[in-house]
Structure 1
Amino acid sequence: MKLDALGMAQSTLVFVVLGLTLLAFMWGRFRYDLVALAALLGSVMLGLVPAEAAFNGFGHPAVITVVAVLVLSRGFERAGVVDLIADQVLKVGERLLLQLTVLVGTVVVLSGVMNNVGALALLLPVAMRLSREHNTSPSLLLMPLAFGSLLGGLTTLIGTPPNIIISSYRGDVVGENFSMFSFFPVGASVALAGLLFIVLVGWRLTPHRAGQATAEDMFDTANYLVELRVDEEAKAKGLTLQQLQDELDETIPVLAVVRDDKRSAGYAFYDALQEGDILLLEAGPDELKVLEDKVGLSVVVTPEEDDDSSTIEKQPEHKKDGNNKDDDDSPARQVDTEGLQLVEAVVRTDSMMVNRSVRQLRLHHQFGLHLVAVARDGARLKQRLRDIRFQGGDVLLFQGGENEISESLATLGCLPLAKRELNLGQPRKLFFSMAIFALAIIAMLLDILPTAVALSTAALVSLLVGVLPLREAYQAIDGPVIVLLGTMIPVGQALETSGGAALIADTLLHFGSKWPIVMTLTGLFILSMVLSNVVNNAAAAVLMAPIAASLAEGFDASLDPFLMVVAVSASCAFLTPIGHQSNTLVLGPGGYRFGDFWKLGLPLSMVVMVVAIPMILWVWPL
């Protein structure tokens, strides 16, 4: 048994490093890419990973393949391939079962030929529009949609990173990777079973969050908007909006300034305030008091109101709870918000906004965006905007310029939820995109080129012929996932070379020696599935692949069924919203809580396991 300088077995040190890594993943205080990088560097310092091989993972074929798939997926979007499909999805009508069938079925198919998070991101606005047009709670559509994207990823090599990792691992062990459609017989059977379960039974297990289908219901923006006047003695007179914010030491978004009956959007107003200017802004009772006390702004009183202080005091309280929506005489209901370019967006888990505040991000100066409101777990946050640290899945209400807002949201790592204007692309780009992808698949199937080379070539050609601008290609690459894979692959190899994987396998063999081998496969499935729900599914595949190989060797059985069990189970992150980016993306828009996911996720996981293991043993015999 190899001992390091500390006198501890290397396998023990690997378990210590992995244990601390898993705890850090579950804690969630630090991003998973930073945790993975720390695990790699710690492994190097402990002698578990050779220093000269520490960063070899970034050149691993699995990492290169994931990068190529992400670029090709963005190319499909840019060319209009997916929008052609989405245009048909929007015509399904008002029957919920039909909406579920078409939405989930579509995302299953798309996730097989592109990154599953990308497929969900493209159909999420479509699902939101369906829910709003037909007054359906999005909570009934979004969780099934997210789970469908995970199921669809099982069907092909490029559908999800665990498949790519397992294929590359098989190549390292036996000299031959799984092919593009090696996963299809098992993956398609599981996806079909999962689709039928979700549409016929599973959607009834999702929570019904009433009243969250529209931006007005979630944010109730009009009930928070007030008009304030700059009077002759107001301290605000002569200040720009930025100086006003500095004076207040608050983040209170001014949506518009009205001067001489001409309204200018707040993000584009740079003049000094004058007497008689009307500021349209979003403020509750506390903010109104600050605005009056510090800068002398006064609430505009309409002719129908009595000119006394009690009217002003009542108005904010009405806005605060927002219950009196039928009160047509309220000034808040008379505020005209037309043309203010209010856009909803959800914060992605890999967004630069995560764990940062408005001030740290400098949203207005750097990106030209006003933050109007934040919703979390389906409810609007009432705390001050400047105090909010954003989380993945938060739904934000922004104001910004029509031409710049899309680019700003993409840079920030936010997914727009506003009504999606379908871009049907250009026929030439559409043809090139499909033809390039088809040629890459043919090259892979005929063993003309390895998977990583074929897909990288397809991505390069897509850029050269103009299917996708180079800047968008770089934006499409999910940096945190790439760092996670590049750092965890050497750590996973250390688990194998140190004897840690064999030790775990020997333990499983000891307990499972008296049982049929199918029971051991079931245990492997459950272990990998649980791991994928607390850490990234790619990390779960990296760590479980060597354990699966050691089990196969211990049973003197074929490697393939064991690897296939890991591939399927690592993508079964149905139990928690943190197990997969798809789940996190629908957390806010669907109004879900952390404990909502297992209610549908647990029975769906059982369906997947019951279907997958017999299919694996049939397609890939022991």
Structure 2
Amino acid sequence: MMSVTADQIIVFVILILSLALFIDGRMRYDIVALLALCVSAILGVVPWTQTFSGFANPAVITVAAVLVISRGLLNAGVVEMITGALMKVGKRPTIQVSALTGLVITLSGFMNNVGALALLMPVGIKMARSSLVPVSILLLPLAFGSQLGGMITLIGTPPNLIISAFREEHLGQAYAMFDFTPVGLGVAFISFLFIALIGWRLVPKRTGPGSLDDFFTIQNYLTEIRVPPESKYAGKALREIIKATNAKITIIQLIRGSFARPVPYMYERIKADDILIVQAALDDLKKFLLATGFQLEEHVTLDRETIESGDRILMEGTIRADSPALGLNVRDIDLRAGFGINLLAVARQGVLLKERLNDIRFQAGDVLLLQGTEGALREAIKILGCFPLAERGLKIGEPKRIIESVGIFAGTIVIAALGIVPVQVIFTLAALLMVLISLVPVREIYESIDWPVIILLGAFIPVGQAMEETGGAELIASTLLSFQNLLSPVILLTIILIVTMLLSALINNAATAVLMAPISFSIATGLGVSPDPFLMAIVVGASSAFLTPVGHQSNALVMGPAGLKFGDYWKLGLPLEIVMVIVSIPVILHFWPM
């Protein structure tokens, strides 16, 4: 067995601490990666001249370009056109799961998988409501399917691009566009059959916040109160009333006879028999009623039509894992002053939060109910880092441009598959072309790129290379190879696949690929066999983050809307991963023999 050097110890300590921070989750993964890179450079295991070389890696450039191209396809209405037919598939869960999961697998093979999921989530929620199927039964398979599709092509997910760039660096030739397809398609197809026929029955039946026919139940968090003629506050301005009572309430709407004013002006004078629709915690509401003498209108049933008066609409959105709003509360963001919108409710893991809205700190997967104008909501969801869960009048896409977008994308795929132009160059060119013909407006170029993933890749790739260049990967491989009398190459391949799956459930799958690539390559070299089956095992394992909600953005995104709990994921995820291990090994060895 090899002796351990000081540089190897430094690299292992940095990687172990990085893994701990990745799993802990309180520090965002791109910050962890940058911290690991800086420490590696300062301690000398990454040369100064190579500190930021990861940002020039073809995988990083291609990921950014693919994200811009995905935005172009979305803007053109390609996905909307395809998903329109889904609402006609019927109300049987098996058919609904099959249609949604099959479509997201297909889309995720050629576009950003989180983007594909975000487009189909509202469809899944609507299907669940209309057919009285628990939301979780449709959304969890949808999240898993978005990851399965990533295995099918080179551009399906960042780990594939990382593995391809790694192969080019070590063997002189990258993987082509469809080199992943025989293995990826085979594994994804068997996994799809398992989910559609058996797997969805293992998903806990959760309905998400609110009732099946409405995502949020209005009367759960909004209250209607009347101003009686005898109240001493009748005739006073709202501002005076709020200040005098020190009220911690949000006034959503003022109703005076047949007239309704959403978000009334604070200097508006309240008259006798006015009705105020307010949002408040129970204790705050009691204090306000006691101080003002206003009366609770318990016999009135509020509905969306009441709240969506004038140009004000309601919209549900779920917070992304990379949202800048994570850890912040309403006061920090100042939604009302900054955007002119109201936050009416927050749900987490399917439960409406009862604490004061101003005190809630946002987490990934939280579902927000927002009220405002269409334009204000459009801007707010961008700033908050949310995906809309219901259209609510927010129209997306330009169907007339579908031919242009599909033509550019198809041409790019053909050129990349033929190897005429390097993948990173042709996809960057395609992204620029979509910008030049205004499929992607200039203002949306940088909005469409998932910057935390780009930073993670650029920062962590040199750290992974340091593990290889210091001999750390070879040390791990030689330790495993010392048991090769007991462990055959096939068993070692299976171990690599399972370890990659377990890591992907805990940390970002791109970081998993960066860590596992040099280790698997060293094992293959030590065995004297082709490294391709080992690299393919990483591709499959990195797209199999099915055990927890933290391993992949898709899992986190459906947690709130589906009302899922942390322990719900493995109930489908573990059987699915077992099926994938059983299927993957023979499929990999058939198409990529040792």
TM-score relative to the length of structure 1 = 0.90
Structure-1 residue corresponding to 2:490: 518
Deviations along 1:258-314, one digit per CA (max 9) or x if unpaired, are: 246421111x64543434453211234302133246xx4443356xxxxxxxxxxxx
- Give the AA of the match of 1:557: V
User: SS of the residue aligned with 2:589?
Assistant: helix
How far did residue 126 of structure 1 move? Answer: 0.6
Q: Tell me which of 67, 70, 80 is aligned to 2:67.
A: 70
Structure-2 residue corresponding to 1:447: 419
Please state if 1:124 is matched with 2:121.
Answer: yes
Judged with a 3 Å threshold, the aligned counterparts in structure 2 of structure 1 residues 126 and 497 are, in CA distance, closer, same or farther, namely same
- Does the Cα contact within 8 Å between 2:536 and 2:588 map onto a contact in 1? yes
Structure-1 residue corresponding to 2:270: 274
Written as runs of structure 1 = structure 2, the 5 A alignment for 1:378-457 is 378-419=350-391, 425-426=397-398, 428-457=400-429
Structure-2 residue corresponding to 1:299: 294
Deviations along 1:110-134, one digit per CA (max 9) or x if unpaired, are: 0011011111111011101111111
Structure-1 residue corresponding to 2:307: 337
Please state if 1:351 is matched with 2:323.
Answer: yes
Structure-2 separation of matches of 1:278 and 1:433: 50
- Give the AA of the match of 2:201: R
Judged with a 3 Å threshold, the aligned counterparts in structure 2 of structure 1 residues 602 and 292 are, in CA distance, closer, same or farther, namely same
- Does the Cα contact within 8 Å between 1:378 and 1:589 map onto a contact in 2? yes
User: SS of the residue aligned with 2:97?
Assistant: helix
Paired-residue identity, %: 48
Judged with a 3 Å threshold, the aligned counterparts in structure 2 of structure 1 residues 570 and 92 are, in CA distance, closer, same or farther, namely same
Structure-2 residue corresponding to 1:283: 280
User: SS of the residue aligned with 1:476?
Assistant: coil
How far did residue 357 of structure 1 move? Answer: 0.7
User: SS of the residue aligned with 2:555?
Assistant: helix
Please state if 1:31 is matched with 2:39.
Answer: no
- Does the Cα contact within 8 Å between 1:254 and 1:279 map onto a contact in 2? yes
User: SS of the residue aligned with 2:536?
Assistant: helix
Q: Tell me which of 508, 518, 522 is aligned to 1:546.
A: 518
How far did residue 342 of structure 1 move? Answer: 2.1
Q: Tell me which of 459, 462, 479 is aligned to 1:490.
A: 462
Written as runs of structure 1 = structure 2, the 5 A alignment for 1:196-215 is 196-210=193-207, 212=209, 214=211
Please state if 1:190 is matched with 2:162.
Answer: no
Judged with a 3 Å threshold, the aligned counterparts in structure 2 of structure 1 residues 70 and 245 are, in CA distance, closer, same or farther, namely farther
Q: Tell me which of 88, 91, 96 is aligned to 2:93.
A: 96
How far did residue 544 of structure 1 move? Answer: 0.5
Q: Give the root-mean-square deviation of aligned CA atoms.
A: 2.5
- Give the AA of the match of 1:254: I
- Does the Cα contact within 8 Å between 1:136 and 1:213 map onto a contact in 2? no
How far did residue 330 of structure 1 move? Answer: 5.4
Q: Structure 2 unaligned runs (5+)?
A: none
Structure-2 separation of matches of 1:331 and 1:184: 54
Structure-1 separation of matches of 2:346 and 2:294: 24
How far did residue 525 of structure 1 move? Answer: 0.7
- Does the Cα contact within 8 Å between 2:129 and 2:212 map onto a contact in 1? no
Structure-1 separation of matches of 2:211 and 2:572: 24
- Does the Cα contact within 8 Å between 1:230 and 1:236 map onto a contact in 2? no
Q: How many correspondences in the alignment?
A: 589
Structure-1 separation of matches of 2:65 and 2:117: 18
Structure-2 separation of matches of 1:235 and 1:541: 66
User: SS of the residue aligned with 1:90?
Assistant: helix
- Does the Cα contact within 8 Å between 1:135 and 1:213 map onto a contact in 2? no
Judged with a 3 Å threshold, the aligned counterparts in structure 2 of structure 1 residues 109 and 235 are, in CA distance, closer, same or farther, namely same
Structure-1 residue corresponding to 2:19: 22
How far did residue 424 of structure 1 move? Answer: 8.2
How far did residue 145 of structure 1 move? Answer: 0.5
Structure-1 separation of matches of 2:286 and 2:573: 47
Deviations along 1:5-40, one digit per CA (max 9) or x if unpaired, are: xx9611111110011111111111111111111111
How far did residue 469 of structure 1 move? Answer: 0.8
User: SS of the residue aligned with 2:169?
Assistant: helix
Structure-1 residue corresponding to 2:336: 364
- Give the AA of the match of 2:161: I
User: SS of the residue aligned with 1:343?
Assistant: strand
- Does the Cα contact within 8 Å between 2:336 and 2:342 map onto a contact in 1? yes
Deviations along 1:180-218, one digit per CA (max 9) or x if unpaired, are: 100000000011000000011101110012575747765
- Does the Cα contact within 8 Å between 1:501 and 1:550 map onto a contact in 2? yes
- Does the Cα contact within 8 Å between 2:549 and 2:555 map onto a contact in 1? yes
Structure-2 residue corresponding to 1:582: 554
Structure-2 residue corresponding to 1:148: 145
How far did residue 175 of structure 1 move? Answer: 1.4
Structure-2 residue corresponding to 1:53: 50
Structure-2 residue corresponding to 1:248: 246
Structure-1 separation of matches of 2:261 and 2:21: 47
User: SS of the residue aligned with 1:181?
Assistant: coil
Deviations along 1:399-428, one digit per CA (max 9) or x if unpaired, are: 111232123212211111124769684455
Structure-2 separation of matches of 1:407 and 1:34: 26
Judged with a 3 Å threshold, the aligned counterparts in structure 2 of structure 1 residues 394 and 60 are, in CA distance, closer, same or farther, namely same
How far did residue 42 of structure 1 move? Answer: 1.1
Q: Structure 1 unaligned runs (5+)?
A: 303-314, 316-328
Structure-2 separation of matches of 1:203 and 1:555: 40
How far did residue 227 of structure 1 move? Answer: 2.6
Structure-2 separation of matches of 1:478 and 1:211: 27
How far did residue 224 of structure 1 move? Answer: 3.2
Structure-2 separation of matches of 1:11 and 1:530: 24
User: SS of the residue aligned with 1:18?
Assistant: helix
How far did residue 515 of structure 1 move? Answer: 2.6
How far did residue 382 of structure 1 move? Answer: 1.0
Deviations along 1:121-171, one digit per CA (max 9) or x if unpaired, are: 110111011111111111110000000111111100111111011011111
- Give the AA of the match of 1:524: I
Written as runs of structure 1 = structure 2, the 5 A alignment for 1:233-244 is 233-234=232-233, 237-240=236-239, 244=242
Structure-1 separation of matches of 2:60 and 2:72: 19
Deviations along 1:565-595, one digit per CA (max 9) or x if unpaired, are: 1111111100000000000000011111001
Structure-2 separation of matches of 1:464 and 1:90: 34
- Does the Cα contact within 8 Å between 2:280 and 2:356 map onto a contact in 1? no
Structure-1 separation of matches of 2:452 and 2:279: 35
Structure-2 residue corresponding to 1:536: 508
- Does the Cα contact within 8 Å between 1:166 and 1:563 map onto a contact in 2? yes
How far did residue 47 of structure 1 move? Answer: 0.9
User: SS of the residue aligned with 2:45?
Assistant: coil
- Does the Cα contact within 8 Å between 2:135 and 2:208 map onto a contact in 1? no
Judged with a 3 Å threshold, the aligned counterparts in structure 2 of structure 1 residues 334 and 599 are, in CA distance, closer, same or farther, namely closer
- Does the Cα contact within 8 Å between 2:129 and 2:214 map onto a contact in 1? no
Structure-2 separation of matches of 1:62 and 1:559: 19
